[in-house]
């Protein structure tokens, strides 16, 4: 993991990434979270600097990722002398992050789900329909036809033809990684190679881990699971951050989920200029919410609060 801190006496925040470690993106999109937290950017089993060849496939399971999260949590508690820490989970990381928080709420001051997954197959179905219609309206009939022919359904899942189009289509419409990012090669791949965080060997590991699975190895289980049925209650404050343009993980499903989720305190925060990465895209807003709501155990800045 990478640890960022201006003062290690400050509260500890464990960050769970999605399909690819994200620390290198903070070089171009600084979050400023280390102004208020000691931030642990953990690179999970099979990903980034934690990648190694020959990882047993039987360990790349949701239960193992939940256990890993709790183990890393306890390591950070011991290292920094904290009774509790904060947990922030993004995208694919939120799939097992929220389950870890439900499993051991006594370890956390609060849980922050960024682009919180709910039922990813339904999210993909909504994304496919949306993109097909957008391309049709824009006069890109060929792409609209290709998406319509690769339709995602709740019975047949995500066909290979859809997955082959998915990332390119999302980024061209501004509903992928970031609202202003038009492709993964220019927005993610090349910045990773220019990163000063990693050695040349670690940059190779970053992409070998991505290609061999990492958290993406959980994709099938993510598609099939409706977290609204699995985690119905959390015994700690819960905050969801979501970009209004996000179709990688459905904004609507996340909002509906939080409304149903039982928790002592909760808040949903819409990021009006973001797609899938609001903590990077609108860092100042995210930092303010973390400082004024999450650290304070409040939800005064949440949607509908009158702020």
Give Dmax (Cα) for the chain: 58
pLDDT digit string (tens) for 57-87? Answer: 888 899 999 999 999 999 999 999 999 999 9
Residue 306 counted as domain residue: no
Let me know whether 109 and 231 are in one domain.
yes
Domain shared by 60 and 206, yes or no = yes
* Residues 10 and 108 grouped into a single domain: yes
Note whether 115 and 227 are same-domain residues. Answer: yes
My answer on whether 154 and 110 are in the same domain is no
Tell me if 59 is assigned to some domain: yes
Q: What is the pLDDT of residues 169-181, one digit of tens each?
A: 999 999 999 999 9
Whether 32 and 103 share a structural domain: yes
pLDDT, residue 217, reads 77
My answer on whether 37 and 157 are in the same domain is no
Q: Are residues 66 and 126 in the same domain?
A: no
- Is 27 contained in some domain? yes
> What is the pLDDT averaged over residues 96-102?
98
Residues 154 and 38 in one domain: no
pLDDT of residue 213: 63
Residue 302 domain-assigned (yes or no): no
- Domains: count for the chain: 2
Taking only the tens place, the pLDDT of each residue in 223-251 is 999 999 999 999 999 999 999 999 999 99
As a whole-number percent, the residues of the chain with pLDDT over 90 amount to 88
Do 90 and 166 fall into the same domain?
no
Domain-embedded: residue 307 = no
Residue 110 is part of which domain span? 2-119+188-294
Residue 210's pLDDT band, with cuts at 50, 70 and 90, is confident
Residue 137 shares a structural domain with residue 68: no
Q: Please indicate, yes or no, whether residues 136 and 266 belong to a single structural domain of this protein.
A: no
């Amino acid at each position: 993991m990478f640890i960022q801190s201006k003062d290690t006496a400050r509260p500890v925040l464990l960050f769970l990434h999605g399909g690819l470690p994200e620390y290198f993106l903070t070089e171009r999109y600084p979050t400023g979270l280390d102004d208020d937290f000691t931030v642990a950017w953990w690179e999970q089993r099979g990903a980034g600097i934690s990648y190694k060849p020959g990882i047993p496939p039987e360990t790349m399971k949701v239960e193992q990722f939940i256990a890993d999260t709790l183990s890393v949590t306890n390591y950070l508690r011991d290292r920094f002398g904290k009774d509790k820490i904060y947990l922030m989970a993004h995208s694919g990381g939120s799939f097992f992050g929220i389950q870890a928080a439900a499993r051991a709420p006594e370890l956390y001051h609060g849980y922050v789900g960024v682009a919180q997954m709910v039922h990813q197959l339904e999210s993909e179905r909504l994304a496919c329909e949306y993109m097909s219609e957008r391309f049709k309206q824009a006069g890109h009939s060929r792409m609209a036809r290709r998406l319509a022919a690769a339709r995602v359904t709740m019975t047949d899942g995500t066909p290979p033809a859809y997955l082959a189009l998915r990332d390119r289509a999302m980024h061209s419409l501004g509903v992928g990684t970031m609202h202003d990012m038009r492709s993964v090669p220019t927005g993610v791949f090349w910045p990773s190679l220019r990163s000063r965080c990693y050695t040349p060997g670690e940059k190779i590991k970053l992409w070998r881990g991505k290609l061999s699975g990492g958290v993406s190895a959980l994709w099938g289980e993510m598609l099939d699971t409706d977290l609204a049925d699995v985690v119905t209650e959390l015994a700690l404050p819960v905050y969801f951050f979501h970009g209004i343009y996000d179709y990688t993980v459905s904004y609507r499903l996340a909002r509906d989920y939080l409304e149903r989720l039982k928790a002592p305190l909760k808040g949903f925060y819409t990021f009006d200029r973001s797609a899938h990465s609001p903590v990077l895209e609108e860092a100042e807003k995210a930092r303010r919410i973390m400082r004024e709501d999450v650290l304070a155990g409040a939800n005064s800045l949440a949607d509908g609060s009158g702020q």
